[in-house]
Amino acid sequence: MKGGSPLRRRFAAEPGARLRLSQQIKQAWTDPQFRERMSEATKPRMSNPETRLHLSAIIAQKFKEDTTYRERVSVGVRSKLSDPEFRERFLRACRDPSRRAKISAAATGRRWPDYMKERFSQQKRRLSEEDVQCARASFLRGESIVALAFTSGVSYTTMYRAAYGKRRAYRRDAPSATALRAAVDRNRKTAAYKRRRLSTIDVQSLRLSRSNGVAFSKIARQFGVSKKTVMNIVAKKIYKDD
């Protein structure tokens, strides 16, 4: 039977022909020998990377040009999965370790088109666009990523990707590198101040004691810090602004 344009013209002129052909194909696929012959005939062609890439490009173009194509495919899949017998066969095939290994091997290194990568990224996103914008504004104001992640109920990695725009789903309106650098520097200073164990008066007293010749170890015991901390404060490696 001819395909392509002649087949489409025949379907247009005779709507019932599509249904009859579909029934014939379904009936043929119930024959194990026919399935085996078709499988063997298809394997050589599909093992060719150029053929696979060509078919992938055709399908991708079809999705772009026909806005209803995706919905029609989804309706067809949902219809098949609603059949208990088909669903059981499908799940049994998915549980087959050898089949799972084949699918995994075939998917490894596959070059997905950009629209599919975008779709996968959107499906995996944990934060809405509004959440991302609020988190970025808070981060640029000085709030840490750890605090933002805890507040939003997501991991540090997810919040980091959202704040920096490191994933496709979060790239929209991502802050500039300059703004991020300034926020990081400001957040580090804020965190350092929060970790301070000595006040400004304590630091001044500590340095005065050292200038008067008091030993590092004695100053450390007096202020409840380590000797190394006292040495760093005196050398102005830390507490530089005091």
Q: What is the pLDDT of residue 81?
A: 87
145/182 same-domain check: yes
167/138 same-domain check: yes
Whether 211 is in a domain gets the answer yes
H-only helix segments in the chain: 5-13, 15-29, 32-46, 49-65, 69-81, 84-95, 97-107, 114-124, 129-141, 145-152, 156-164, 177-194, 200-211, 216-223, 227-234
188/209 same-domain check: no
Whether 144 is in a domain gets the answer yes
177/206 same-domain check: no
CB 81 within 8 A of CB 90: yes
204/181 same-domain check: no
Neighbours of 69 (CB within 10 A): 13
Question: What averages of pLDDT result for each successive group of 10 residues across the chain (242 residues)?
Answer: 64 77 84 85 81 83 82 86 88 84 72 76 87 90 87 91 88 87 81 77 89 90 89 86 68
CA-CA-CA-CA dihedral for 35, 40, 43, 44, to nearest 10:
-150
Q: Which two tokens stand for residue 160?
A: 């980091």
225/178 same-domain check: no
3-class secondary structure for 194-217? HCCCCCHHHHHHHHHHHHCCCCHH
Q: Which two tokens stand for residue 155?
A: 């991991």
185/130 same-domain check: yes
Whether 178 is in a domain gets the answer yes
CB 143 within 8 A of CB 190: no
pTM over 0.85: no
CB 183 within 8 A of CB 142: yes
Whether 89 is in a domain gets the answer no
**Total domains in the fold of the chain:** 2
> Which residues form the domain of 145?
123-194
Distance CA(95)–CA(88), nearest Å, equals 11
State how far the alpha carbon of 111 is from the alpha carbons of 5, 45, 173, in Å. 30, 19, 26
State how far the alpha carbon of 53 is from the alpha carbons of 44, 68, 172, 183, in Å. 14, 23, 30, 44
Residues 6 or more apart in contact with residue 127 via CB below 8 angstroms: 135, 152, 154, 158, 159, 162, 170
Q: Is 225 exposed, middle or buried (0-12, 13-18, 19+ CB in 10 A)?
A: middle
Q: What is the pLDDT of residue 110?
A: 65
Q: Scan for tokens 């008067």, then name that residue.
A: 212
